[in-house]
């Protein structure tokens, strides 16, 4: 598997595919910023993990504030030493998430799982609104087809039961590190193995697209059991920071 620095950088690089022309993607030694412009701060992210972490954190915060977008700034590795920079600036730690890595691996096709297009994507957006409580604009941003000139950039994968979409996840391809985003299952479909089946097909899709490597994702507390069942490794933990007013939606 790639080293820690490569994994951290790859997360931002893969997220850059979601950033429209009106958004912001910047990266340098030890940090990156990926602001999609979505109303939900979960899709405006920045990470500080190396270099002069205090200086980098100050620079990241200044750029985020200049863009006036609700954002989550994450700290990992050496970047954790910059927590006081954020605290002194009035930011609050809202928790931490484990960075998980699942090796790309071939798998037999699952008849209930497929790549989503057209009307299926509209169903995925509604699923995201229901499961994650996000707004339609953010859901549309996450669950979208790749650009026609970059068809191998990403895919949305979903599992259907009785013609109803139960689980969906977005996969951004990268070599050797791909990223899985916004994996969710409807309440009535949970604890039935749907998420694990989708994750296995995500791993297989990444293997088919780029060969050896790994699929990485940030696991929520609820998602850790799924990643445990899949055999995904815990690489490290990332702290999440934001501003109190942003968490209240203002």
Structural domain boundaries of the chain? Answer: 4-98+237-247, 103-236
Domains 4-98+237-247 and 103-236 share a fold: yes
- Look at residue 152 in the predicted model and tell me its pLDDT: 53
- Look at residue 9 in the predicted model and tell me its pLDDT: 95
Q: End-to-end distance of the chain based on CA atoms, in angstroms?
A: 40
Q: Give the three-class secondary structure for 17.
A: helix
Q: Which fold has domain 4-98+237-247?
A: Aminopeptidase (3.40.630)
pLDDT tens across the length of the chain (250 residues): 568 999 999 999 999 888 888 899 999 999 999 999 999 998 999 999 999 999 999 999 999 999 999 999 999 999 999 999 999 999 999 999 999 999 999 999 999 999 998 889 999 999 989 888 888 888 888 888 766 555 458 889 999 998 899 999 999 998 899 999 888 888 776 778 899 999 999 999 999 999 999 999 999 887 888 899 999 999 999 999 999 888 766 5
Using alpha carbons, list the distances in angstroms from residue 66 to 60, 69, 141, 205.
10, 8, 22, 38
- Give the separation between CA 39 and CA 44, rounded to whole angstroms: 9
- Look at residue 144 in the predicted model and tell me its pLDDT: 80
| Architecture per CATH, 103-236 | 3-Layer(aba) Sandwich (3.40)
- Look at residue 143 in the predicted model and tell me its pLDDT: 84
Alpha helix segments (H runs only) across the chain: 4-15, 53-67, 83-88, 119-132, 136-142, 194-210, 224-230, 244-247
- Look at residue 150 in the predicted model and tell me its pLDDT: 56
- Look at residue 112 in the predicted model and tell me its pLDDT: 94
CB 210 within 8 A of CB 245: no
């Amino acid at each position: 598997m790639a080293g820690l620095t490569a994994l951290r950088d790859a997360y931002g690089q893969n997220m850059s595919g979601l950033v429209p022309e009106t958004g912001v993607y910047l990266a340098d030694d030890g940090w990156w910023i990926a602001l999609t412009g979505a109303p939900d701060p979960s899709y405006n992210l920045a990470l500080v993990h190396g270099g002069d972490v205090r200086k980098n954190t100050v620079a990241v915060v200044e750029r985020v504030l200049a863009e006036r977008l609700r954002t989550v700034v994450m700290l990992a590795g050496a970047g954790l030493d910059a927590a006081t920079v954020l605290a002194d600036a009035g930011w609050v730690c809202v928790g931490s998430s484990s960075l998980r890595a699942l090796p790309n691996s071939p798998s037999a096709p699952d008849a209930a799982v497929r790549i989503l297009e057209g009307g299926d994507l509209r169903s995925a957006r509604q699923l995201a609104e229901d499961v994650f409580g996000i707004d339609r604009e953010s859901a549309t941003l996450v669950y979208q087809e790749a650009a026609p000139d970059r068809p191998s950039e990403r895919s949305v994968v979903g599992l259907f039961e009785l013609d109803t979409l139960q689980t969906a996840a977005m996969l951004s391809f990268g070599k050797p590190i791909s990223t899985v985003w916004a994996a969710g299952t409807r309440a009535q479909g949970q604890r039935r193995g749907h998420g694990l089946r989708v994750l296995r097909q995500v791993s297989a899709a990444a293997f088919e697209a780029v060969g050896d490597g790994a699929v990485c994702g940030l696991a929520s507390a609820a998602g850790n059991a799924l990643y445990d069942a899949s055999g995904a490794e815990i690489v490290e933990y990332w702290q999440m920071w934001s501003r109190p007013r942003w968490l209240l939606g203002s």
